[in-house]
């Protein structure tokens, strides 16, 4: 099963790197986002089943990812993207920081997987840009210190189920419609 996930991730990353394939087209298939949400739940469940979860001696900073849907809808797609990039940047850093403190194999394996998945989203979102220039990590998202490993997984699941899912949904409204005009690609799946 892990090999299947690795192949899917490799295919995903190769698809992103191809010049002729627009990475934004990935948002048009709702099944992919549902798969990612399922993976976040699985990771959170598996880390909870680890024998011993040590408290981190050095706290990590986690983004506060809760949001008001009404306020979220009023933001531009670029603002949403930058906000999620800030959250992911902090989350990737937290996972890396926790990995350096955890020696227990089960928790270390789950943290490594979370790091890879969050970093993949981070790299993907950098390809979506409406403004000139590259994204810079000069953002200051709302955050809090945590010493519990489970908090990292909870934050990641909330980010994927919340902001990221709604962002992909918003992107699909624009990008899937553009992709259908004058192309032979199949229409987007209904949401």
CATH of the domain at 66: 1.20.1250.10
Q: Is residue 52 part of a domain?
A: yes
Please report, rounded to a whole number, the percentage of residues in the chain having pLDDT higher than 90. 42
- pLDDT (0 to 100) of residue 128: 73
Q: Is residue 17 part of a domain?
A: no
Q: Is residue 115 part of a domain?
A: yes
Q: Is residue 8 part of a domain?
A: no
- pLDDT (0 to 100) of residue 45: 93
For 101-114, what is the mean pLDDT?
91
Residue 67 lies in domain: 27-129+141-180
Q: Is residue 151 part of a domain?
A: yes
Q: Is residue 91 part of a domain?
A: yes
| pTM, rounded to two decimals | 0.77
Using the predicted structure, report yes or no on whether residue 129 has a pLDDT greater than 50.
yes
Query: Per residue in 167-177, pLDDT tens?
Result: 988 888 877 76
Q: Is residue 90 part of a domain?
A: yes
For 140-160, what is the mean pLDDT?
90
Beta-strand (E) ranges in the chain?
60-63, 143-146
Mean pLDDT of the chain: 79
Q: Which range among 38-42, 122-126, 171-175 shows the weakest confidence by mean pLDDT?
A: 171-175
Using the predicted structure, report yes or no on whether residue 40 has a pLDDT greater than 60.
yes
Q: How many domains does the chain divide into?
A: 1
Q: Decide: 135 and 129 in contact? Cβ < 8 Å.
A: yes
Report which of 172, 166, 164, 177 is spatially closest to residue 27, judged by C-alpha positions. 172
Three-state SS at 144: strand
Q: Which range among 10-24, 47-61, 84-98, 173-187 shows the weakest confidence by mean pLDDT?
A: 10-24
Query: Per residue in 9-25, pLDDT tens?
Result: 454 544 444 333 345 55
Dihedral of CA 115/118/121/125: which sign?
Answer: negative
Q: Is residue 14 part of a domain?
A: no
Give the residue, 88 or 51, on which the prediction is more confident.
88
Confidence band for 31, pLDDT divided at 50, 70 and 90:
confident
Hey, which residues does 61 pair with through a beta bridge? 145
């Amino acid at each position: 099963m892990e090999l299947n996930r690795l192949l899917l991730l490799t295919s995903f990353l190769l698809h992103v790197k191809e010049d002729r394939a627009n990475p934004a087209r990935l948002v048009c298939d709702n099944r992919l986002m549902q798969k990612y949400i399922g993976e976040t739940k699985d990771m959170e469940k598996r880390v909870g089943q680890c024998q011993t979860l040590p408290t981190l001696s050095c706290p990590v900073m986690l983004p506060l990812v809760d949001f008001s849907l009404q306020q979220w809808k009023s933001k531009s797609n670029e603002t949403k993207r930058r906000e999620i990039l800030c959250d992911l940047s902090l989350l990737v850093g937290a996972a890396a920081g926790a990995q350096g403190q955890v020696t227990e194999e089960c928790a270390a394996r789950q943290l490594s997987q979370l790091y890879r998945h969050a970093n993949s989203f981070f790299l993907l979102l950098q390809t979506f840009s409406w403004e000139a220039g590259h994204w810079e990590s000069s953002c200051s998202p709302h955050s809090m210190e945590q010493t519990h490993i489970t908090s990292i997984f909870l934050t990641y699941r909330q980010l994927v189920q919340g902001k990221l899912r709604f962002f992909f949904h918003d992107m699909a409204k624009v990008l899937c419609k553009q992709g259908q005009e004058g192309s032979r690609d199949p229409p987007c799946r209904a949401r």
